[in-house]
Amino acid sequence: MGFREVALGDRVRSALFCLALLAASGCGLEATETAPVGPSESGVADAVVVDEPIGRDTRPFVAATVPRERARALLPRIARDGAVTVSTSGSATSDNVRSAHLREVRRLECRDQYVDYPEQFDHWHSIDLDGDGSDEQLVFFTLEGFGGGNNYVRYLVVYRHVAPVWFAASTFLVGGKGSAGVTGASLRLQDGVLYTEAMLPDDDDGTCCPSLESELAFDVGIGGILTPKPIALREAGMAYRFFLLEFASSCG
């Protein structure tokens, strides 16, 4: 009788001990450690729920963070070599200039219900054009689908800050279907002239595919005002001008 009481007590203590272990580690089940979830490269944790075997069981758990594919750098980068400044574009609109930018986009859409603004094609630059120690914001962006067609146009806008607001100081039509191919991914400021790479149409090129490698150039005047420079495509000196138009009216 005494033996049975001792054995029963041992079993009770063993069961209680097992329950404590179960709470901590699964009590005999093969435990799988859950990886901590941290911020991804974009600053937001990308938690992925998967089914992972835990011993004989299958339970959902949060796996390690899966970084998103890195897109273009969000912020533009500046490199200086003597008197030459090179800006490599970023893809994000600065919060402080976004309202002004969206107002300019709406203006250039000309109330056309078919126009689309694909922001993924934006190229933003922060560069001091007027030498006052503060950067202007420049963006190359695209509007497409005017009138329901498949045409598109490419713009360059220079935004300036006069406290407390940002505003569009200059807007240029720099390319589009049937004219120049301009990404605006990089800018070079050298000897008072601002340059960006461009592909210009040759005589035999289709409207989709300009093939002449060239540059757009803007004289940077007093106050950082940009003035487009004509481009000589050939030795004969034929100037390619028509796509370098500054917009003054409400719809250009």
The domain of 57 spans 32-70
Same domain, 49 and 99: no
Same domain, 64 and 89: no
Residue 119 domain-assigned? yes
Residue 208 domain-assigned? yes
Same domain, 81 and 107: yes
Beta strands in the chain (DSSP E): 49-54, 57-62, 77-81, 84-88, 123-127, 136-144, 152-162, 165-176, 186-190, 193-200, 212-220, 226-228, 231-232, 239-240, 245-246
pLDDT mean by block of 10 residues, the chain; 252 residues: 46 53 46 40 38 41 36 73 90 89 94 94 94 93 92 94 93 88 94 93 83 91 90 53 43 54
What's the pLDDT at 122?
Answer: 95
Main-chain dihedrals φ then ψ at residue 225, nearest 5 degrees: -70, 130
Same domain, 43 and 143: no
**Whole-model pTM above 0.75?**
no
Same domain, 142 and 221: yes
Residue 23 domain-assigned? no
CB half-sphere exposure, 19, CA atoms < 13 A: 6
Same domain, 137 and 171: yes
Q: How many domains are contained in the chain? A: 2
